Amino acid sequence: MIKIDKAMEIIKSQQINWPTERVQLIDALGRIMVNGITSPLDSPPFAKAAMDGYAINSTDNSIKYQIIEIIGAGDNPSKTVIGGTCSKIMTGAMMPGGADKIIRVEFADERDGYAVPHTPEPAGNVIAKAENLEAGDLVLNPGRLAAKDIGIIASLGFPEVEVSKRPVIGVLTTGSELKNPGEKLESGQIYNSNGLQMTAQIASAGCIPKYYGIIVDDRNALSNAVAKAFSECDIVLLSGGVSKGDYDYVPEVLEENGMQTLFHRVAIKPGRPLLFGRKDDKFVFGLPGNPVSTFVTFEVFVKTLIYHLSGLDYNPTLYKGKLSKKVKRRDTERTEFYPVIIRGGNIEPIKYLGSSHLNAMAEANGMMTIPNGIAEFKEGETVSVRSI
């Protein structure tokens, strides 16, 4: 059994040349951008009006200003503003020559072709050329694209972006006791929750799930399903059959199919039987069958691989908060992931009976890490939690 840090290191040390592709911005949400983005232009590209109003020279304190031009957004001003004159200007329009200030429209009356201020204008109301950004500035680092990033890239004039290819991830759920939702349960059977849980996790990680359904605990059936999934997917995930029971065929069947085991059994709770392997440029995880174990090992390990393929470190969003009641354990050999509720600045451990207690996760919105070697977190202690 290896420590979690060692397992992470093995995943992150995998060398692979993962392909990229160019996608239109409309299809880029959630994709992993592989290069940083540098601005090709100044923003704004010209000094522009931040308000509707009257553009004047800030040194000109006339009591009224003759309106010499009306400038809308997108227009090119043709007149230069001099003492006693102004151009009426709309928000977003280019500032005319000679002007460096706008008296907002609410602060002046308009009479006989003149703007007559009635209230002092304290602000300049002009956005200087390149005030927001200069050509050549680095604007975005590589990483997963959120909606705001799409706006930023569009503002720089790029119609498309280079992203890493979405991995196709196969899901095989092993277990002769499994039935799919919608089917009738016979004695001794349970519903297959891992299959759909994993396809949902894959989709929410921005990858393409390929679902192979239930594989009964039979060596040949498993071997055929594994061979098919290896040929069609970049990463193959199996749930169940990876520990030490008589019918736990996953480790040996994977090796028979040419996969090299990179680690098997990790000092984590839940999820100890976890297996990770590789065949050429394809990867496989054998995730333990208990549904909370499957969930947790995906979040911690599979996501790390998914990001690593694109050359990134997976850094889950971490919340810090004060523990609402103490958490104590006897065995400290493993790093534990414990479901919690993040509420305000508090972290509340939930009632959780173990890795088969999937419905306990209904309440949870976070997972607290208890590192190996730690036996107790005190009430009121600051702990860090990843959101789920």
Task: Please report, as ranges, the residues that interact with ligand AMP according to CB under 6 A.
Answer: 173, 175, 177-178, 190, 192-195, 239-243, 245, 288-291, 356
To ligand AMP, the closest distance from the beta carbon of 173 in angstroms equals 4
Distance CA 45, CA 43 (A): 5
To ligand AMP, the closest distance from the beta carbon of 177 in angstroms equals 5
* Binder of residue 243, out of Mg ion, ligand AMP, none (CB less than 5 to 8 A by kind): ligand AMP
Residue pointed to by tokens 């200087």 = 128
For every residue of 295-306, DSSP letters joined together read: HHHIIIIIHHHH
| Closer of 115 and 242 to ligand AMP (Cβ) | 242
* Binder of residue 239, out of ligand AMP, Mg ion, none (CB less than 5 to 8 A by kind): ligand AMP
Looking only at residues 163 through 192 of this chain, which bind Mg ion when binding is defined by CB under 5 A? 175
Element spanning 61, H or E = none
Distance CA 271, CA 296 (A): 7
Distance CA 91, CA 145 (A): 30
| Closer of 206 and 270 to ligand AMP (Cβ) | 270
| Closer of 248 and 336 to Mg ion (Cβ) | 248
To ligand AMP, the closest distance from the beta carbon of 358 in angstroms equals 8
| Closer of 288 and 339 to ligand AMP (Cβ) | 288
To ligand AMP, the closest distance from the beta carbon of 274 in angstroms equals 10
Residues 6+ apart with CB under 8 A from 361: 292, 295, 339, 388
* Binder of residue 375, out of ligand AMP, Mg ion, none (CB less than 5 to 8 A by kind): none
To Mg ion, the closest distance from the beta carbon of 190 in angstroms equals 11
Report the residue count for the chain.
Answer: 388
To Mg ion, the closest distance from the beta carbon of 215 in angstroms equals 10
Distance CA 240, CA 248 (A): 8
To ligand AMP, the closest distance from the beta carbon of 179 in angstroms equals 10
> Which of 146, 247, 236, 248 lies closest to 198, judged by CA?
236
Q: Which residues of 226-241 are buried (b: 16+ CB within 10 A; e: fewer)?
A: beebbeebbbbbbbbb
Sign of CA dihedral 247, 252, 256, 262: positive
Helix, strand, coil content of the chain in percent (nearest 5): 20, 35, 45
Residue in the shown chain whose Cβ atom is closest to Mg ion: 240
Backbone angles phi, psi at 258, to 5 degrees: 90, 5
Residue type, 205: A
Element spanning 367, H or E = strand 366-370
Residue in the shown chain whose Cβ atom is closest to ligand AMP: 289
Cβ pair 113, 72 in contact under 8 A: no
| Closer of 240 and 277 to Mg ion (Cβ) | 240
Of 195, 240, 270, 339, the residue at the interface with Mg ion (CB under 5 A) is 240
| Closer of 96 and 241 to Mg ion (Cβ) | 241
To Mg ion, the closest distance from the beta carbon of 226 in angstroms equals 15
* Binder of residue 366, out of Mg ion, ligand AMP, none (CB less than 5 to 8 A by kind): none
* Binder of residue 194, out of Mg ion, ligand AMP, none (CB less than 5 to 8 A by kind): ligand AMP
Instruction: Show the DSSP H helices in the chain as ranges.
Output: 4-12, 147-155, 194-204, 219-232, 250-256, 291-297, 303-309
To ligand AMP, the closest distance from the beta carbon of 193 in angstroms equals 4
| Closer of 164 and 243 to ligand AMP (Cβ) | 243
Q: Is residue 241 close enough to count as binding Mg ion by CB under 5 A? A: yes
Point out which span in 52-60, 283-291, 299-307, 330-338 binds Mg ion (CB under 5 A): 283-291
| Closer of 123 and 200 to ligand AMP (Cβ) | 200
Residues forming the site for Mg ion (CB under 5 A): 175, 240-241, 289
